[in-house]
Amino acid sequence: MRQVSVIEELWSEFRLPIRNALHFRSGESYDVAIDPGSPGGLRVLDSFDLGDYVASHPDWISEVDGMASVEMDDGGLLWAGDGAYGSEGFVARLRSDRTVVWAIFCTDSNPFTEIQTSGPHATFLSTSGVRITLHVDDPRG
């Protein structure tokens, strides 16, 4: 039986770590940076161990709430919204059972309130004008 990853545990309560990061269901996590000058507006940086991060920062967790969604052909969902503080935002791809495929949390994007899709890509827009465009299957590239 497959072990549940830290991100799956957090997502089951609609919570994400307060860190500019991309998390995959598999347990992989990467730091990210909003960068309007880079392709897609987001740079994926080095990987890190989410379990270690949560253990050393147990209070650095934010509840998230959806403000926009787009149904996918496979029954899954693109979902975007805000965190517990006004400056936070998140975007995520969910499976048909609403479990997480991947999720990105941004501490200073403001809430993401609009999703536009085009083929295998989605563009997420925040209330502060942050625009990131990602491949819906793998936001790393």
Task: Identify whether 1 is part of a domain.
Answer: no
| DSSP of 64-119 | -EEEEEEE-TTS-EEEEEE-SSTT-EEEEEE-TTS-EEEEEEESSS--EEEEEEET
Strand order from edge to edge, sheet including 121-126: 112-118, 121-126, 131-135
pLDDT tens-digit map of 38-68: 999 999 999 999 999 999 999 999 999 999 9
Task: Identify whether 24 is part of a domain.
Answer: yes
pLDDT tens-digit map of 75-89: 999 999 999 998 999
Task: Identify whether 108 is part of a domain.
Answer: yes
pLDDT at 139 over 90: yes
Q: 99: which 2 tokens?
A: 């479990």
Give the domain range for residue 128. Answer: 6-135
pLDDT tens-digit map of 113-135: 999 999 999 999 999 999 999 99
Evaluate whether 52 touches 30 at the Cβ level (below 8 Å): no
Dist. CA 35–CA 16, nearest whole Å: 21
Q: Model's pTM, two decimal places?
A: 0.96
Domain count for the chain = 1
Task: Identify whether 140 is part of a domain.
Answer: no
